[in-house]
A and B are shown apart, each in its own frame.
Chain A
Amino acid sequence: MKKVYRRPKSLKRAAFHYCPGCGHSIIHRLLTEVFDEMNIQDRVIGIPPPGCSVFAYHYLDVDMAESAHGRGAAVATGLKRAYPDALVFTYQGDGDLAAIGTAETIHAANRGERITSIFINNAVYGMTGGQMAPTTLSNMKTTTTPYGRDTRLEGYPVRMSEMVALVKGAVYIERTAVNSPANIRKTKKAIRKAFQAQIDDLGYSLVEILSPCPTNWKMNPLESWQWVENEMTKEFPLGLIKDITREKDSTGKRDAD
């Protein structure tokens, strides 16, 4: 009998603590599948964020170190500079990467740091109980926008990936989602490409993943998957945002500009 589905080698044997319907467990699995397939488990170092996925190190069987809120890209920069053979990734939520860590993210990307950011966008601060995130949709109710996000008072949802795409050191950026089997497959492909850009020494790569948070959205898992499809993708359209990996090489002889 042929085994067609197994636990990835890079995924620890531990039960996920995530809520039913949460996207983290799917994304953890995709990451570890990619590590196995690319045979890079022993080169990968992960920087998990404060947030629901702070415990990512209980599941991913790679070297990992916690970082202060928002500082992932700076910590990853230091690590990679000190040890360039490592494949360093940050795993950050929308509050982490697009609010408190905006400066670290933009500048790491601009320096073309050879790191990869896995950016989980669920439109709320999950672990702290569902407060407004920079990515919260207009009119969306959260615990700190109880009347719905009023853009006149609370600003607009931030399209961080599009912002990061503007800097020249960013070579690969794609927005995907984990709300359907087809999107999950696309997400895995994007993660693979992002790590490949780092292996090829080309620059900064980022995958933004729209991920359901049924608990804080006060929906059941199925509704939350549909909400990603019907509401979130209107503000955050899925697809490739930037890919200059083919026009660039690490020697700098061929540059995209």
Chain B
Amino acid sequence: MYGNAAIGEAAIRAGCQCYFGYPITPQNELTEYMATNLSRRAGCSFVQAESEVSAINMVYGASLAGVRTMTSSSSPGISLKQEGISYLAACELPAVIVNISRGGPGLGSISAAQSDYFQSTRGGGHGDYRTIVLAPSSVQELADLTHRAFDLADKYRIPVIILGDGMLGQMMEPVEFKYDAPSELPVRSDALRGAKGRPSRIVKTFTSKPTDLEELNWSLFRRYRLIEKEETTYEIYMVEDAELVVVAFGVAARIAKGAIRNARANGLKVGMFRPITLWPFPYEKISELTQTTKHLLVFEMNMGQMIEDVKLAVEGKREISFYGRPGGVIPTPSEVLRVITRLYYQKGLKIEK
């Protein structure tokens, strides 16, 4: 199954009731999957909106009505959605936003890139807020994390971003869906559905009292602390004895894995650390790694964005190198292997005999 289609199927099986999209490459297969498979389902709705701005605001409307809802786009379209994401975060409304990202800045290219890391992990729109950011690295994980995204969104009443890329979206791999579509679509108890047998409800953030808004921000950040504690996830690969650890996420981690396997065959003790949640970022685990490893190499398909979080985690205790290819250029495992090998010898790291 294509990565884009796998997201759609997983979303339907997670009980997604409303999908709102707008065409942009390389995520169109997802919108098309929803048009084919969601639009005529009982109780469900699909709208091809007039813009990404409208699509995210339709998500906001559907989330108000208490249903599971999703939109998807690619980098330039995700920029347009930031206004709506800020409002979702402010009004504590759950939603899933898929970014099958591409090269930038500007219109950029339609090839896979990871240059939306900053935008995704720093809130993205105006105001003090965070979104949970999930970074899958295979089609199977796209499906699994899509389901998890809906659960997290509801649990913490927060927008959740799935940060994929053009390669993952277009890639075809076998995938197993662990859940069947629910027989009854879930509706949140605090939904806006008319004041029937209860007082009328207001969903808003606007206030003329700054202290009210301060309290909202405090309450959001108390929840963010909880999410950091409970939901940080990552993958570690051959780090136990590693002299050098490659830190990479998403598709870059997959490329790195291939390179690391070959490096190991050459006797280089290299491992990999892959954050699965980009926010919350696994600072503590990376900090622990500095006790066992000598050197870190951050590898990203951008000019170096996640490296800032790695630096925050490492706190100067270890030297960090960077290798990146921006603009939608996809590095090969042999290219990364060359980088690893050169660095390994330059730093005089121990070779396994």
A contact residues vs B (CB 8 Å cutoff): 41-45, 50, 54, 57, 60-68, 71, 74-83, 85-87, 103-104, 106-107, 111
Nearest-CB distance from B39 to chain A (Å)? 11
Distance, CA A184 to CA B110, complexed state (A)? 55
Per-position 1/0 for B47-77, Cβ under 8 A of A: 1011101110111111111110100000000
Contact indicator A81/B64 (Cβ below 8 Å): no
Partner of B54 from A43, A82, A103 at Cβ < 8 Å: A103
Assess whether A41 is in contact with B54, with CB atoms less than 8 Å apart.
Answer: no
Known: A77-B58, A78-B61, A78-B62. A107 touches B50 (CB 8 A): yes
- A65, closest chain B residue (CB): B203
Residues of B within 8 A of A107 (CB): 49-50, 54
- CB of B202 within 8 A of CB of A64, answer yes
Measured in the bound complex, the distance between the Cα atoms of B53 and A64 in whole Å is 21
A-B contact pairs, 25 of them (CB 8 A): A42-B195, A42-B196, A45-B64, A45-B193, A57-B204, A61-B200, A63-B192, A63-B193, A63-B202, A64-B203, A65-B91, A65-B203, A66-B91, A67-B87, A68-B87, A74-B53, A75-B57, A75-B60, A78-B62, A78-B65, A82-B18, A82-B45, A103-B51, A104-B50, A104-B54
Interface residues of B in 161-209 (CB under 8 A from A): 191-197, 200-206
CA distance A103 to B66 in the complex (A): 26
- How long is the Cα–Cα vector from A78 to B20 in the complex, in angstroms? 8
- B17 in the interface, Cβ–Cβ < 8 Å? yes
Is B32 an interface residue, CB under 8 A from the partner? no
B61 and A63: CB pair below 8 A?
A: no
Interface centre among A43, A71, A78, A104 (most CB of B within 10 A): A78
CA distance A254 to B67 in the complex (A): 32
Which residues of chain A come closer than 8 Å to B54, judged between CB atoms? 71, 74, 77, 103-104, 107
Q: Smallest CB–CB gap between B276 and chain A, Å? A: 30
Q: A42-B196, A45-B194, A71-B54 are in contact. Are A65 and B64 (CB under 8 A)?
A: yes
Within the complex, the shortest CB–CB distance from A170 to chain B, in Å, comes to: 15
Which chain B residue has the least Cβ–Cβ distance from A87? B194
- Once the chains are docked, how many angstroms separate the CA of A43 from the CA of B49? 25
Residue of A57, A80, A82, A111 touching B69 (CB-CB under 8 A): A82
Q: Give the Cβ gap from A117 to chain B, nearest Cβ, in Å.
A: 14
